[in-house]
Homo-oligomer: A and B are copies of this chain.
Amino acid sequence: MRQNDTLDFVHHGDKYFLHHLSIDCVIFGYHERQLKVLLLKWKNAEKWSLPGGFIKLEETLEDAASRILTERTGLSQLFLQQFHTFGEPKRSVRTAADIAHLESIWKTDVPKEHWLLKRTVSIGYYSVTEYSQVNPQPDYLSDECTWHDIHSIPQLVFDHNLIVTEALKALRMQINLQPIGYNLLPKKFTLPEIHDLYETILDKKLDRRNFPKKLLSLGIIKKLDEQKSIGAHRSPFLYKFDKRKYDKALKEGIVLAF
Protein backbone atom coordinates (compact mmCIF):
# COMPACT_ATOMS: atom_id res chain seq x y z
CA MET A 1 0.00 0.00 0.00
CA ARG A 2 2.39 2.55 1.24
CA GLN A 3 4.98 1.60 -1.31
CA ASN A 4 2.30 1.90 -3.99
CA ASP A 5 1.38 5.35 -2.74
CA THR A 6 4.99 6.40 -3.07
CA LEU A 7 5.33 4.96 -6.55
CA ASP A 8 2.12 6.61 -7.66
CA PHE A 9 3.30 9.93 -6.26
CA VAL A 10 6.67 9.70 -8.00
CA HIS A 11 5.40 8.51 -11.36
CA HIS A 12 2.03 10.21 -11.67
CA GLY A 13 2.23 13.15 -9.29
CA ASP A 14 2.94 15.44 -12.22
CA LYS A 15 -0.68 15.01 -13.30
CA TYR A 16 -2.20 16.02 -9.94
CA PHE A 17 0.15 18.75 -8.76
CA LEU A 18 1.43 22.11 -9.95
CA HIS A 19 5.00 21.78 -11.14
CA HIS A 20 7.84 23.90 -9.73
CA LEU A 21 5.81 24.80 -6.65
CA SER A 22 5.62 23.50 -3.12
CA ILE A 23 4.49 24.61 0.31
CA ASP A 24 6.44 24.37 3.56
CA CYS A 25 4.83 24.85 6.97
CA VAL A 26 6.58 26.12 10.09
CA ILE A 27 4.42 24.99 13.00
CA PHE A 28 5.40 26.64 16.25
CA GLY A 29 4.33 24.85 19.40
CA TYR A 30 3.98 26.61 22.75
CA HIS A 31 3.82 25.08 26.20
CA GLU A 32 5.00 26.39 29.58
CA ARG A 33 7.52 28.98 28.47
CA GLN A 34 8.85 26.84 25.66
CA LEU A 35 8.61 27.53 21.95
CA LYS A 36 9.18 24.61 19.64
CA VAL A 37 9.00 23.76 15.95
CA LEU A 38 7.49 20.65 14.45
CA LEU A 39 9.95 18.70 12.30
CA LEU A 40 9.78 15.48 10.31
CA LYS A 41 12.57 12.98 9.86
CA TRP A 42 12.49 11.21 6.54
CA LYS A 43 12.79 7.49 6.42
CA ASN A 44 16.35 6.18 6.12
CA ALA A 45 17.78 9.66 6.38
CA GLU A 46 19.50 11.55 9.15
CA LYS A 47 18.32 15.01 8.25
CA TRP A 48 15.14 16.71 9.39
CA SER A 49 12.76 18.82 7.34
CA LEU A 50 9.69 20.98 7.67
CA PRO A 51 6.32 19.44 6.82
CA GLY A 52 5.78 20.27 3.17
CA GLY A 53 4.08 19.13 0.02
CA PHE A 54 2.63 20.03 -3.33
CA ILE A 55 -0.38 22.01 -4.53
CA LYS A 56 -3.17 20.26 -6.39
CA LEU A 57 -4.23 21.66 -9.74
CA GLU A 58 -7.53 23.06 -8.45
CA GLU A 59 -6.77 24.00 -4.87
CA THR A 60 -6.19 27.34 -3.19
CA LEU A 61 -2.80 27.87 -1.58
CA GLU A 62 -4.43 28.03 1.85
CA ASP A 63 -6.27 24.75 1.29
CA ALA A 64 -3.09 23.11 0.10
CA ALA A 65 -1.14 24.27 3.15
CA SER A 66 -3.89 23.02 5.43
CA ARG A 67 -4.17 19.65 3.70
CA ILE A 68 -0.41 19.11 3.65
CA LEU A 69 -0.18 19.83 7.33
CA THR A 70 -2.94 17.36 8.18
CA GLU A 71 -1.47 14.68 5.94
CA ARG A 72 2.03 14.97 7.37
CA THR A 73 1.32 15.56 11.04
CA GLY A 74 -2.29 14.76 11.86
CA LEU A 75 -2.81 18.35 12.98
CA SER A 76 -5.83 20.15 11.61
CA GLN A 77 -7.80 23.35 12.01
CA LEU A 78 -4.70 25.46 12.49
CA PHE A 79 -4.67 29.09 11.48
CA LEU A 80 -2.02 29.31 8.78
CA GLN A 81 -0.34 32.51 7.77
CA GLN A 82 1.62 32.94 4.55
CA PHE A 83 4.86 34.84 5.18
CA HIS A 84 7.37 34.48 2.34
CA THR A 85 8.16 32.61 -0.86
CA PHE A 86 11.56 31.01 -1.27
CA GLY A 87 13.00 30.32 -4.69
CA GLU A 88 16.74 29.96 -4.96
CA PRO A 89 17.44 28.25 -8.31
CA LYS A 90 19.31 25.32 -6.76
CA ARG A 91 16.23 24.26 -4.79
CA SER A 92 14.79 21.02 -6.09
CA VAL A 93 13.05 18.03 -4.63
CA ARG A 94 15.80 15.86 -6.05
CA THR A 95 18.24 16.79 -3.32
CA ALA A 96 15.67 15.58 -0.85
CA ALA A 97 14.98 12.42 -2.75
CA ASP A 98 18.68 11.68 -2.81
CA ILE A 99 18.75 11.31 0.92
CA ALA A 100 15.32 9.80 1.37
CA HIS A 101 14.11 6.26 1.01
CA LEU A 102 13.02 7.02 -2.53
CA GLU A 103 16.63 6.39 -3.43
CA SER A 104 15.98 2.93 -4.79
CA ILE A 105 13.32 4.25 -7.16
CA TRP A 106 15.62 6.88 -8.57
CA LYS A 107 18.50 4.50 -9.19
CA THR A 108 16.52 2.33 -11.58
CA ASP A 109 15.19 4.70 -14.18
CA VAL A 110 14.86 8.41 -13.66
CA PRO A 111 14.21 10.55 -16.71
CA LYS A 112 16.27 13.74 -16.69
CA GLU A 113 13.18 15.88 -17.08
CA HIS A 114 11.22 14.17 -14.28
CA TRP A 115 8.95 16.60 -12.46
CA LEU A 116 10.60 15.98 -9.09
CA LEU A 117 13.97 16.96 -10.50
CA LYS A 118 12.77 20.40 -11.52
CA ARG A 119 13.59 23.54 -9.64
CA THR A 120 11.04 24.15 -6.90
CA VAL A 121 9.81 27.41 -5.47
CA SER A 122 8.33 27.03 -2.01
CA ILE A 123 5.64 29.12 -0.37
CA GLY A 124 6.11 29.40 3.41
CA TYR A 125 3.28 29.29 5.95
CA TYR A 126 3.48 29.41 9.72
CA SER A 127 1.16 28.74 12.64
CA VAL A 128 1.27 28.54 16.42
CA THR A 129 -0.43 25.88 18.54
CA GLU A 130 -0.53 24.48 22.07
CA TYR A 131 1.49 21.30 21.76
CA SER A 132 0.98 19.52 25.07
CA GLN A 133 -2.34 17.94 24.09
CA VAL A 134 -1.32 17.29 20.50
CA ASN A 135 0.27 14.10 19.30
CA PRO A 136 1.60 14.61 15.79
CA GLN A 137 1.70 11.53 13.57
CA PRO A 138 4.26 11.11 10.79
CA ASP A 139 2.92 9.97 7.43
CA TYR A 140 4.29 7.21 5.25
CA LEU A 141 7.18 9.33 4.06
CA SER A 142 8.54 9.95 7.54
CA ASP A 143 10.01 8.09 10.49
CA GLU A 144 9.43 10.68 13.15
CA CYS A 145 7.43 13.81 13.76
CA THR A 146 8.58 15.67 16.85
CA TRP A 147 8.86 19.07 18.47
CA HIS A 148 12.29 20.74 18.60
CA ASP A 149 13.16 23.66 20.82
CA ILE A 150 13.55 26.87 18.86
CA HIS A 151 17.04 27.36 20.31
CA SER A 152 18.38 23.98 19.23
CA ILE A 153 17.13 23.23 15.76
CA PRO A 154 19.19 20.62 13.94
CA GLN A 155 20.50 21.04 10.43
CA LEU A 156 17.58 20.83 8.03
CA VAL A 157 17.32 19.93 4.35
CA PHE A 158 17.52 22.59 1.62
CA ASP A 159 17.02 26.10 2.95
CA HIS A 160 14.63 25.00 5.68
CA ASN A 161 16.78 26.53 8.42
CA LEU A 162 16.39 29.87 6.66
CA ILE A 163 12.64 29.32 6.35
CA VAL A 164 12.35 28.75 10.10
CA THR A 165 14.34 31.90 10.84
CA GLU A 166 12.17 33.97 8.53
CA ALA A 167 8.98 32.47 9.95
CA LEU A 168 10.07 33.41 13.45
CA LYS A 169 10.82 36.94 12.30
CA ALA A 170 7.39 37.17 10.66
CA LEU A 171 5.65 35.77 13.74
CA ARG A 172 7.34 38.28 16.05
CA MET A 173 6.35 41.10 13.76
CA GLN A 174 2.81 39.81 13.49
CA ILE A 175 2.41 39.72 17.26
CA ASN A 176 2.68 43.50 17.37
CA LEU A 177 -0.17 43.86 14.93
CA GLN A 178 -2.57 41.12 15.95
CA PRO A 179 -3.53 39.58 19.30
CA ILE A 180 -2.40 36.08 20.09
CA GLY A 181 -3.27 33.48 22.68
CA TYR A 182 -6.85 32.44 22.02
CA ASN A 183 -5.77 29.00 20.87
CA LEU A 184 -2.72 28.82 23.09
CA LEU A 185 -4.15 29.44 26.56
CA PRO A 186 -7.00 27.89 28.56
CA LYS A 187 -10.37 29.66 28.45
CA LYS A 188 -9.52 31.25 31.80
CA PHE A 189 -5.90 32.20 32.31
CA THR A 190 -3.79 34.31 34.66
CA LEU A 191 -1.78 37.40 33.80
CA PRO A 192 1.52 35.60 34.38
CA GLU A 193 0.43 32.92 31.94
CA ILE A 194 -0.29 35.28 29.05
CA HIS A 195 2.73 37.35 30.02
CA ASP A 196 4.98 34.30 29.80
CA LEU A 197 3.51 33.47 26.40
CA TYR A 198 4.48 36.85 24.97
CA GLU A 199 7.92 36.79 26.58
CA THR A 200 8.65 33.36 25.19
CA ILE A 201 7.58 34.14 21.65
CA LEU A 202 9.37 37.47 21.54
CA ASP A 203 12.30 36.06 23.52
CA LYS A 204 12.68 39.19 25.63
CA LYS A 205 11.58 40.60 28.96
CA LEU A 206 8.34 42.59 29.06
CA ASP A 207 7.54 44.74 32.07
CA ARG A 208 5.13 42.84 34.26
CA ARG A 209 3.20 45.98 35.24
CA ASN A 210 2.80 47.57 31.84
CA PHE A 211 2.06 44.43 29.94
CA PRO A 212 -1.59 43.97 31.00
CA LYS A 213 -2.44 47.64 30.55
CA LYS A 214 -2.40 47.52 26.77
CA LEU A 215 -4.47 44.38 26.47
CA LEU A 216 -6.93 45.63 29.10
CA SER A 217 -7.27 49.13 27.68
CA LEU A 218 -7.94 47.66 24.24
CA GLY A 219 -10.55 45.46 25.88
CA ILE A 220 -9.04 42.31 24.41
CA ILE A 221 -8.84 40.60 27.81
CA LYS A 222 -11.19 40.99 30.76
CA LYS A 223 -10.62 40.43 34.46
CA LEU A 224 -12.83 37.87 36.21
CA ASP A 225 -13.79 37.72 39.87
CA GLU A 226 -12.24 34.29 40.22
CA GLN A 227 -8.73 33.47 41.29
CA LYS A 228 -6.56 30.47 40.57
CA SER A 229 -4.81 28.51 43.28
CA ILE A 230 -1.16 28.02 42.46
CA GLY A 231 0.13 26.44 45.65
CA ALA A 232 2.27 28.27 48.14
CA HIS A 233 1.76 31.72 46.69
CA ARG A 234 -0.68 34.52 46.33
CA SER A 235 -3.56 33.47 44.13
CA PRO A 236 -3.55 35.33 40.81
CA PHE A 237 -6.79 36.57 39.27
CA LEU A 238 -8.19 34.84 36.22
CA TYR A 239 -8.82 36.60 32.92
CA LYS A 240 -10.60 35.70 29.71
CA PHE A 241 -10.53 36.95 26.16
CA ASP A 242 -13.31 39.21 24.92
CA LYS A 243 -13.88 37.25 21.74
CA ARG A 244 -15.60 40.09 19.90
CA LYS A 245 -12.86 42.61 20.51
CA TYR A 246 -10.22 39.94 20.00
CA ASP A 247 -11.61 39.08 16.58
CA LYS A 248 -11.96 42.73 15.69
CA ALA A 249 -8.32 43.36 16.58
CA LEU A 250 -7.34 40.25 14.63
CA LYS A 251 -9.17 41.52 11.57
CA GLU A 252 -8.44 45.23 11.67
CA GLY A 253 -5.02 45.14 13.26
CA ILE A 254 -3.68 46.95 16.29
CA VAL A 255 -0.41 48.49 17.38
CA LEU A 256 0.86 46.79 20.48
CA ALA A 257 4.54 47.68 20.01
CA PHE A 258 5.98 45.26 22.55
Binds B, one of A27-35, A84-92, A104-112, A227-235: A84-92
Within the complex, what minimum Cβ distance (angstroms) separates A125 from chain B?
Answer: 10
Within the complex, what minimum Cβ distance (angstroms) separates A149 from chain B?
Answer: 25
* Chain B, Cβ-Cβ closest to A253: B173
The reply to whether the CB of A218 lies closer than 8 angstroms to some CB of chain B is no
The reply to whether the CB of A39 lies closer than 8 angstroms to some CB of chain B is no
* Chain B, Cβ-Cβ closest to A173: B177
Docked-complex contact A60 and B89, CB < 8 angstroms: yes
Residues 103-138 of chain A, each 1 if its beta carbon lies under 8 Å from chain B, else 0:
000000000000000010101000000000000000
The reply to whether the CB of A195 lies closer than 8 angstroms to some CB of chain B is no
Docked-complex contact A58 and B89, CB < 8 angstroms: yes
Partner of A20, one of B20, B59, B82, B177: B20
* Chain B, Cβ-Cβ closest to A169: B253
Main secondary structure of the interface of A (DSSP, over half): loop
Docked-complex contact B61 and A85, CB < 8 angstroms: yes
Partner of A18, one of B20, B57, B257: B20
In the bound complex, residues from chain B placing their C-beta under 8 Å from that of A20 are 18-21
* Chain B, Cβ-Cβ closest to A64: B87
The reply to whether the CB of A55 lies closer than 8 angstroms to some CB of chain B is yes
Docked Cα-Cα span, A18 to B121, in Å, equals 9
The reply to whether the CB of A250 lies closer than 8 angstroms to some CB of chain B is no
The reply to whether the CB of A153 lies closer than 8 angstroms to some CB of chain B is no
Query: Most chain-B CB neighbours within 10 Å: which of A82, A89, A257?
Result: A89
Docked Cα-Cα span, A20 to B118, in Å, equals 13
Residues 8-21 of chain A, each 1 if its beta carbon lies under 8 Å from chain B, else 0:
00000000001111
* Chain B, Cβ-Cβ closest to A255: B257
Docked-complex contact A55 and B87, CB < 8 angstroms: yes
Docked Cα-Cα span, A123 to B83, in Å, equals 12
In the bound complex, residues from chain B placing their C-beta under 8 Å from that of A19 are 19-20
- 13 interchain pairs (CB within 8 A)? A18-B20, A19-B19, A19-B20, A21-B21, A55-B87, A57-B119, A58-B119, A59-B89, A60-B88, A60-B89, A61-B87, A173-B177, A255-B257
Sort A-B residue pairs by CB-CB distance and give the 4 closest, nearest first: A61-B87, A85-B85, A18-B20, A58-B89
